[in-house]
Amino acid sequence: MSKETNKQPASVFQMEGIPPMGKVIPLGMQHVVAAIVGVITPAIIICNTCNITGSDRTLMIQVSLILTALATLLQLFPIFGRLGSGLPVVMGVSFAYVPTLTAIGGEFGLATILGAELVGGVVAILFGIFVKPIRKFFPPLVTGTVIFTIGLSLYPTAVKYMAGGAGSAEFGSMKNWLVAIVTLAVVFALNNFGKGILKLGSLLWGMIVGYILAVVLNMVDFSGIAAAPMVQIAVPFHFPIEFNISACVSMAIMYIVNSVQTIGDLSSTTLGGLDRLPTDKELSGGIVGQGFMSILGSIFGGLPTASYSQNVGIVTVNKVVNKAVFAFASLVLLVAGFLPKFAGILTTIPQCVIGGATISVFATITMTGIRMITSQTFTMRNSTVVGLAVALGVGVTTVGSSALAGFPGWVTTVFGSSSVVISTIVAIALNLILPADPPEDVEKVAVAFETDDVMERLSDDDPTNDPTDAEFQR
């Protein structure tokens, strides 16, 4: 009896063991569908920023796929007990770095991005090693402010793409906007009214519909696909690496911020799927693994990695934590990464399609920041931290480099190129400098919000209700 029991396949709701492939494949493909747009789009955006075309463009998408697969496998199966969290989490190339990457790439080029990424990976490893004492500097108020700023800073990128891409001969044309709006409409409809795989893969399905429409409107060039080989293996240092101190500082700050976000994603994964908080070892290993993969990515021409919140969301909903499911998803991405023709197809996606799909992603990032901010009692102190950090970050970068024209060039690169950097520094500084709210002030604000909520509910129930009735008094 015990032998038969031992031969039974594992459950998808436990981390170890191998469940039936009939469950592993569809559940794994869910994660592929949820992640694929986030994997390839940052590479496409950076290629456009740095004017990378042809086979190098295809190669960067290949490396993004491979890097995401390896980063996820490292999280599932840690090396030496320190590289990786050992948790069911998808990690790969991330949108969160895009504002800083485009700023560095626009001024210095891809080589400087890769150099700054290498340094940022080292910083992430150090953060992971000392995560326990450092973590106190990044409460939800600070982290939420930073994530909110990241979302805001990505909006112009999305709108430029919806219009056809800055510098495009048909920038702002009705044709570009038609495709972008149709793509956005599909994503919006499936997100709000779809179910199952339609809702889960709304970004992918929206891009497919937008791509088909773009093909019908003769906006897609397939000429580069035929020239791509069937199989290609990325080699180290195909792209040069250069170091610029100011770019490295900017990226180091971003890695610290995203390490904090990784803590949040790992915590959500364990709470949602395992009903517990992650251990210090799991948090440390997850961040150290993230830094290691970023160093590896810089050597092969990949972009910075971070945990994928959309895949964390899947875990919290379906409670599936079996490592075999995530390993299968990783293998699918890995195989796709060695096929240049597949990557070549992805390079033909028009910018208006990417813009129409990703603007909803950027909106979600912004709202995630708002949720984190409002999870704290919104006192005058907290509103000052958020308001000033966002105002200075967005304000300086909106004006442009001329706002810092009287400063040395490195100041402009570090503080004037990305609103996220300024907002991060200001939020951390204000949170440390401003005195904590007295408990009675926090209680007053909480009571005020509760009173407003009661009044609103009373008003909704019956416009003639008097807010002095028994419920209001309570």
Q: For 321-350, write each residue's pLDDT tens digit.
A: 899 999 999 999 998 888 888 777 777 888
Checking if the pLDDT of 403 tops 80, the result is no
The region of weakest confidence among 21-25, 171-175, 302-306, 308-312 is 308-312
The predicted pLDDT at position 73 comes to 96
Q: How far is CA 188 from the centre of its chain?
A: 19
83 three-class SS? strand
- For the residues 422-434, what does the mean pLDDT come to? 89
The CB-side HSE value for 362 (13 A sphere, CA atoms) comes to 24
The 3-state DSSP composition of the chain as helix, strand, coil percent (nearest 5) reads 75, 0, 25
Contact residues for 459 (Cβ-Cβ < 8 A; gap 6+): 465
The predicted pLDDT at position 467 comes to 41
- For the residues 173-202, what does the mean pLDDT come to? 86
Binned at pLDDT 50, 70 and 90, residue 241 comes out as very high
Binned at pLDDT 50, 70 and 90, residue 447 comes out as low
Q: For 43-85, write each residue's pLDDT tens digit.
A: 988 998 999 988 888 899 899 999 999 999 999 999 987 899 9
Residue 171 to residues 42, 161, 215: CA-CA distances in angstroms? 20, 9, 18
Checking if the pLDDT of 152 tops 80, the result is yes
Binned at pLDDT 50, 70 and 90, residue 443 comes out as low
For 119, list phi and psi in degrees, rounded to 5. Answer: -65, -40
Eight-state DSSP code of residue 436 = P
The predicted pLDDT at position 404 comes to 77
Are residues 23 and 12 in contact, defined by beta-carbon separation less than 8 angstroms? yes
Q: What is the mean pLDDT of the chain?
A: 82
The predicted pLDDT at position 105 comes to 92
The predicted pLDDT at position 145 comes to 87
The predicted pLDDT at position 30 comes to 75
Checking if the pLDDT of 390 tops 80, the result is yes
Are residues 286 and 262 in contact, defined by beta-carbon separation less than 8 angstroms? yes
Distance separating alpha carbons of residues 133 and 27, to the nearest angstrom: 37
The predicted pLDDT at position 228 comes to 67
Q: Which residues pair with 79 in a beta bridge?
A: 83
Eight-state DSSP code of residue 301 = T
- For the residues 129-153, what does the mean pLDDT come to? 83
Checking if the pLDDT of 466 tops 50, the result is no
- For the residues 11-36, what does the mean pLDDT come to? 84
- For the residues 180-203, what does the mean pLDDT come to? 84
What is the distance between the terminal CA atoms of the chain, rounded to a whole angstrom? Answer: 61
Residue 220, by phi and psi: left (phi above 0), alpha (psi -120 to 50) or beta? Answer: beta
The predicted pLDDT at position 4 comes to 47
The region of weakest confidence among 242-251, 309-318, 422-431 is 309-318
For 219, list phi and psi in degrees, rounded to 5. Answer: -110, 5
Distance separating alpha carbons of residues 107 and 109, to the nearest angstrom: 6
Distance separating alpha carbons of residues 459 and 456, to the nearest angstrom: 5
Percent of the chain, pLDDT > 90?
29
Q: Cβ–Cβ contacts within 10 Å for residue 467, how many?
A: 12
Checking if the pLDDT of 472 tops 80, the result is no
- For the residues 374-387, what does the mean pLDDT come to? 87
Q: Which long-range contacts (CB under 8 A, 24 or more apart) does 110-113 make?
A: 110/46, 110/50, 110/52, 110/239, 110/301, 111/239, 111/240, 111/241, 111/242, 112/242, 112/243, 112/244, 112/247, 113/46, 113/50, 113/247, 113/303
Contact residues for 377 (Cβ-Cβ < 8 A; gap 6+): 437, 442, 445, 446
The region of weakest confidence among 7-21, 140-154, 449-463 is 449-463
The predicted pLDDT at position 458 comes to 47
Percent of the chain, pLDDT > 70?
88
The H-or-E segment that residue 289 falls in is helix 280-300
Checking if the pLDDT of 441 tops 60, the result is no
The predicted pLDDT at position 362 comes to 79
Q: For 253-290, write each residue's pLDDT tens digit.
A: 889 878 877 887 888 788 778 888 788 899 999 999 99
